[in-house]
Amino acid sequence: MSGLEEARGLVARAERIAVLTGAGVSAESGIPTFRGPGGLWRNFRPEELATPEAFRADPRLVWEWYDWRRGLVAAARPNPAHEALARLEARRPSTVLVTQNVDGLHEAAGSRAVELHGSLWRLRCAGCGDVGPDRTVPLRPLPPRCACGGLRRPDVVWFGEALPEAELGRALDAARACDLMIVAGTSGLVQPAASLAGAAAARGVPVVEVNLEETPGSAGFAVRLRGRAGEILPQLLG
Ligand code: OAD
């Protein structure tokens, strides 16, 4: 039996599926991943830009990167990976889709994803904390300011910051309650998201990994499907 057939059997028998997605799921929509080829912007690593320290030191530089990413995403459409997951959710309402992506492409495909790392499409005032939607592309002037005079920042989670409590709680609940977990397009290097699949696997729950390559967690996963998420997920989920 091939890995794909085995994984399809697991999906057919599962009652509560949890899915964790990462940047690889949006790669086929033309959004660069964080790590690997094409993951750099003007020779900066995401770790150098996605931090509160970087924003304090040079808010304009950090905003230029986010403004560039907002422009890319605004021009992008969900791909067959997002669509297959949205169909799964519609067919099986007990499915919980958790994403590390901040691009909103799961929602655009019709999913109600738990956004663990926030959203590019909300701004938060670093001064008064006010949060609101903003889809303006490009944003000018950079950095944008709040009515209170404070600097607005993307409402995303940066390195060294805590994840939003409600979303993290929903993700942990899903990892504890699922009887199958699918992990797609994530390097599994960023905590605590990366620990969700490990926690499910430690309970004896099968984990199906969809990725171009091996990841640090691969060895603990029941089925490893190598290839593009936009090709494999539609075959896996029907
Ligand atoms: P990464 O860029 O670390 O990893 C992307 C993963 O997707 C890699 O394992 C690739 O092999 C895989 N991949 C690429 N293209 C693919 C495709 N077409 N089909 C399937 N797999 C593919 O992205 P994440 O794991 O999402 O956090 O990164 C996690 C977090 O690190 C991000 O949410 C972000 C980043 O810093 C914050 O900003 C807090």
What confidence tens digit (pLDDT) does each residue in 199-223 have?
999 999 999 999 999 999 999 999 9
First to last CA, the chain: 18
Structure tokens at 95: 């499915």
Q: Is 226 a pocket residue for ligand 1 (Cβ < 6 Å)? A: no
Q: What is the largest CA-CA distance in the chain?
A: 62
The mean pLDDT of 160-180, rounded to a whole number, is: 97
Q: State how far the Cα of 229 lies from the Cα of 238, in Å rounded to an integer.
A: 13
Distance 148 CA to ligand 1 centre (A): 36
- Given the CA of residue 116, which atom of ligand 1 is nearest to it? 33
Catalytic residue set:
117
Q: Is 49 a pocket residue for ligand 1 (Cβ < 6 Å)? A: no
């990841």: which residue's tokens? 215
Q: What are phi and psi of 53, to 5 degrees?
A: -65, -45
pLDDT per residue as tens digits for the range 95-148? 999 999 999 999 999 999 999 999 999 999 999 999 999 999 999 999 999 999
- Given the CA of residue 35, which atom of ligand 1 is nearest to it? 2
Q: Where are the alpha helices (DSSP H) in the chain?
A: 3-13, 24-27, 46-49, 52-57, 59-74, 80-91, 105-108, 165-177, 193-202, 229-237
Residue 45's pLDDT is 87
Distance 22 CA to ligand 1 centre (A): 5
Residue 77's pLDDT is 98
Distance 150 CA to ligand 1 centre (A): 32
Q: Is 79 a pocket residue for ligand 1 (Cβ < 6 Å)? A: no
Percent with pLDDT over 90 in the chain: 90
Distance 214 CA to ligand 1 centre (A): 12
> Rounded to two decimals, what is the model's pTM?
0.97
